[in-house]
Amino acid sequence: MIYITGDTHGEFGRFSNKRMRKQGLELGENDFVIVCGDLGLCWAKDKTFTYNCKNFAEKKYSTLWIQGNHENYDMIEEYPIEEWHGGKVRHIVKDKVILLERGQVFEIEGKTFFTFGGAASHDVQGGILDREDIDFDDDRRKAIRSNLPFRIKHESWWEQELPSEEELEEGRKNLAKHGYKVDYVLTHCCATKIQELVDKGPGHLYSTDVLTDFLQEVEEKLEYKHWYFGHYHMELDVDDKHSLLYHAIIPVEGYRSLAYVPVPGRPRYHRDEMVRIKWDDAEKVGKVFVVDAFGTIDQNEEPSYDILVEEDNCLYKHICESDIIGKILM
């Protein structure tokens, strides 16, 4: 089976055995999880990197990913390019964590995937600073005083976040080889017109660029079943062919609407509502007593609730939204 998820940013709690089992996911040696950019594994070669690589190496399944805009591209480029399932990859952890390079078409489990990672960083209102610049210290202080986010070249920002012309051409060439027809598209950001649908809020946080325009070109030429992307930090079925992923882990085929996926900050249940919950192998009925919209210290990937079950004279604490069967209408 192949599963898809969104940005992880170095927080891999969603892949813990406990969390996976809770979602009914029992992945084996022939299964894959694909992360739509900003994996966050390759950031610094430190103890955290070593620890995370060891954890990924011990998993039965393989983790595939595409580039986001928050990746250490200098570190990534230390790994050689190899051929895998019809396209170019880099093995970060041999056969366990594999980067799917830009502009490639892969065949996995009989399905074809076009991959094109990358995106423009939008959190740079305070500037993209260079330590070698004589004004670096002054510019950094100005950004901090103004409370504006900034990034530093080769430390928290890399120009390779956006593709080169050569990468764009390779994408066009590989799509032409496949007659501009694939099963699935995997990107970090999305096409310009889809981004306009996603970024409807006041002020428009995201701008068009060479990559969103290229993806718009692909959108208008390519025949495909579904397009999955990340980057915008929400769960959203934009339409019947485009899904924006963040925390959710869904099968590439046959998933329910993302409306059923728990989202931090958007609790589905409210105080004093009666709900039915799963507890071990039993079901219990109780009243919502406390709502933790952003989860708890132990898990922050879905809302959490304290449920008062009068029959047991007990307050069941930290019940994840995914463990609530549904609301009981009184």
pLDDT single digits (tens) 84-109:
999 999 999 999 999 999 999 999 99
Whole-angstrom distance, CA of residue 256 vs CA of residue 91: 32
In this prediction, residue 138 carries a pLDDT of 96
Is it the case that residue 52 has pLDDT exceeding 90? yes
Element (DSSP H or E) covering residue 99 = strand 97-100
Average pLDDT over residues 19-40: 90
Cα 115 to its chain centre, rounded Å, is 14
**What mean pLDDT value characterizes the chain?**
93
Mean pLDDT of 318-325: 88
User: Architecture of domain 2-118+162-260 in CATH?
Assistant: 4-Layer Sandwich (3.60)
Tell me if 55 sits within 8 A of 47, measured CB to CB.
no
Give the largest Cα separation in the chain, rounded. Answer: 70
pLDDT grade for 205, boundaries at 50, 70 and 90: confident
Per-residue pLDDT averaged across 170-182, rounded? 98
Number of other residues whose CB lies within 10 A of the CB of residue 46:
8
Question: Closest by alpha carbon to 68, among 100, 46, 105, 24?
Answer: 100
In this prediction, residue 257 carries a pLDDT of 67
Nearest partner of 61 among 88, 36, 25, judged by Cα: 25
Degrees (nearest 5) of the Cα angle 231, 233, 145? 90
Residue pair 68/117 in contact by the 8 Å Cβ criterion: yes
pLDDT above 90: residue 174: yes
Tens-place pLDDT, residues 155-168: 999 999 999 999 99
- Span 238-278, pLDDT tens digits: 999 999 999 889 999 876 667 667 778 888 899 999 999 98
Query: What would the mean pLDDT of 164-173 be, rounded to a whole number?
Result: 98
Ranges of each domain in the chain:
2-118+162-260, 122-156, 274-327
3-state SS class at 66: coil
- The model's confidence at residue 327, banded by pLDDT at 50, 70 and 90, is confident
What pLDDT does residue 76 have?
97
> What residues are paired with 39 via a beta bridge?
none
Task: Name all contacts of 213-219 with Cβ < 8 Å and 24+ positions apart.
Answer: 214/116, 214/163, 214/168, 214/171, 215/116, 215/187, 215/189, 215/190, 215/191, 216/191, 216/192, 218/114, 218/116, 218/171, 218/175, 218/185, 218/191, 219/191, 219/193, 219/194
> Which pLDDT belongs to residue 261?
75
Q: Which residues contact 210 (CB under 8 A, 6 or more apart)?
A: 162, 163, 168
Confidence of residue 115 (pLDDT cuts 50, 70, 90): very high
pLDDT at position 79 is 97
CA-wise closest residue to 26 among 58, 54, 59, 52: 59
Q: Is 29 exposed, middle or buried (0-12, 13-18, 19+ CB in 10 A)?
A: exposed
pLDDT value of position 330 = 60
287 or 299, greater pLDDT:
287
Mean pLDDT of the region 48-54: 96
DSSP H stretches of helix in the chain? 17-22, 47-57, 73-76, 136-145, 165-177, 192-198, 210-221
Provide the pLDDT for residue 328.
85
pLDDT-derived band at 22 (thresholds 50, 70, 90) equals confident
Q: How far apart are the first and last CA of the chain?
A: 40
Token couple for 94: 């041999």
